[in-house]
A and B are shown apart, each in its own frame.
Chain A
């Protein structure tokens, strides 16, 4: 009896040891990948907190060199020209405060419109019967395959002809009314919920809109807010379209402003601290979203791979 136990124990320990060795290897690889993923962010923050003048002699210092908030002040337009130049900034006036506001307006406008109108359309595609429904939905889905630049050129001309260049309406218009992905995303959800709730409400004499607002939307809060998150994030990161249509200072969003800031700093000695501080400012809201809604964002990405 004892030998049996001993043999059993011996085999489990060798197996455990082998598995542990493998497990440690796996953890090590994962740790390296995580380091590669996270290190650039640390380096950005470290540079943003450094004094630009002192970066060159200590460019391999792990901690900030000459710790200062000067970079952030420059990025937010809070530093005088003399101070900026003394710290190695170019003194170029870039107001990230305004761009921050513009990014919020642009991303909010598109998120609100796109989520609302796409959700309504998705409901019709999932629940109502009308002629040509399948064909119409396939056409909308197929448009996901069209390269962005193909429609961007004519859309730019349209916005220009309407006199909407450098206005928030011009920037938001195409995304505000719908997006094929949003319709697809919400339709998947609506297909999965039971029809009984709606039918009960309809028997009580509620019209389509009433059912949609009072019954459907409340039970769709989770996917709707997930879609809103994804839309907000991707709009926040948009570059090409706002660059073409909203380059003017009053509508310039953060991504475009970063490009301008970069182009303005002299080629030989860029204001790296200022640039990196501006980068931190533009990234911070996304990190905040991830901290608040990490699980939801992660799950929605996983879900889109399966469906």
Chain B
């Protein structure tokens, strides 16, 4: 019965075995364990003790958590807004100007660099005392800016740094989408006397929607999980100004050994991301294209 349709499980299993083992041991079981920890009190030393929803009640009353949520949201809004706008611009420019694969390789360079290196690079470039950016600012007669040291500036700074890292990559994704739009649509628009801006709004954006929806879902999910840059550059400071959700979870788990509490926050993060991707894919009707 199992060998229906020619191959069946006996034939497929040797091909699947290792991957399924890996998936079960390092994804499925950990997900279940994660939910179990989230309703436990556990410091890694004693056995976990089930405490029901207490962790979640504590989360609701945890000011640092709410702050983390706000700070992370601020980061995502600046990061994604700027990055998407710039990426669309770059993609359109490339589409107009050149097919050069050297140019496309160049704009991809920052994406090949680890977050740690990027953080280090901008710590130096934006350094208060010796950084070149502050040299420029003071040479204009303005006061130096402590990009990583001021509470109001630290999240926008980190957001812009990561825009720098990802804009070329995002632009390439969108550029790929632009190639799917038939050129004669623009010719038709041009004959009707439509301006560039009208053509962008009436032709490019609607036809790009499926690709944009996918790109936004991927980048927003990634953006919400910002960690490396914070861990290297600010460790959550000044005060809690850059203590983003992932960093706070890490802090609780490995700094204070509140593993149950950390797992509960991971569940909340999971729920937020699931809700965002659901809403987004719904709103943007990602499955359908106006081309079809």
| Chain B positions within 8 Å of A177 at CB level | 18-19, 21-23, 25-26
The dominant DSSP class at the A interface is: helix
CB distance from A206 to the nearest CB of B (A): 13
Residues on B with C-beta less than 8 A from A236 are 114
Identity of the chain B residue whose Cβ is nearest the Cβ of A34 in the assembled complex: B106
Residues on B with C-beta less than 8 A from A176 are 22
Q: Which residues of A in the span 22-37 have a Cβ within 8 Å of any Cβ on B?
A: 23, 26-27, 29-30, 33-34, 36-37
Rounded to whole Å, the gap between the CB of B205 and the closest CB of chain A is 16
A125–B114 Cα distance when bound, in Å, is 32
Give the shortest distance, in Å, between B73 (CB) and chain A (any CB). Answer: 15
Contact of B30 with A121 in the complex, beta carbons under 8 Å: no
A153 near B15 with CB under 8 A, answer: no
A49-B90 Cα distance, complex, nearest whole Å = 32
Cβ of A262 within 8 Å of any chain B Cβ, yes or no, is yes
Complex contact B97–A27 (CB within 8 A): yes
A117 to B20, CA, bound (A): 10
Task: Answer yes or no: B70 CB below 8 A from chain A CBs.
Answer: no
A:189-216 near B, CB below 8 Å: 208-209, 212
Residues of chain B lying within 8 A (CB to CB) of residue A79: none
Q: Which of B65-100 contact A (CB under 8 A)?
A: 86, 89-90, 93-94, 96-97
Map CB proximity to A onto B147-162 as digits: 1 under 8 Å, 0 otherwise.
Answer: 0000000000000000
Interface size class of B (residues with CB under 8 A): 35 or more
A143 touches B27 (CB 8 A): yes
Which residues of A have CB within 8 Å of B22?
A: 117, 174, 176-178
B269: contacting residue among A150, A255, A295, CB under 8 A: A150
Chain A positions within 8 Å of B116 at CB level: 237, 239, 255, 258-259
Which residues of A come within 8 Å of B, CB atoms?
A: 23, 26-27, 29-30, 33-34, 36-38, 40-41, 43-44, 47, 55-56, 59-60, 117-118, 120-121, 123-125, 128-131, 133, 140, 143, 145-151, 153-155, 157-158, 173-174, 176-178, 180, 183, 208-209, 212, 233, 236-240, 243-244, 254-255, 258-259, 262, 272, 275-276, 279, 282-283, 286-287, 289-290, 294-295, 297-298, 301-306
B interface residues (Cβ-Cβ under 8 A, vs A):
2, 4-9, 11-12, 14-16, 18-23, 25-31, 33-34, 37, 44, 86, 89-90, 93-94, 96-97, 101-110, 112-117, 120-125, 127, 129-132, 135-136, 139, 164, 168-169, 172-177, 179-180, 211, 214-215, 221, 224-225, 227-228, 231-232, 246, 249-250, 253-254, 259, 262-263, 266-267, 269-270, 273-274, 277
Q: Please list 14 pairs of residues, one from A and one from B, whose beta carbons are closer than 8 Å in the complex, sorted by A's number.
A: A27-B97, A37-B164, A41-B109, A43-B132, A59-B130, A145-B277, A153-B263, A153-B266, A155-B26, A276-B120, A286-B112, A304-B173, A305-B173, A305-B211
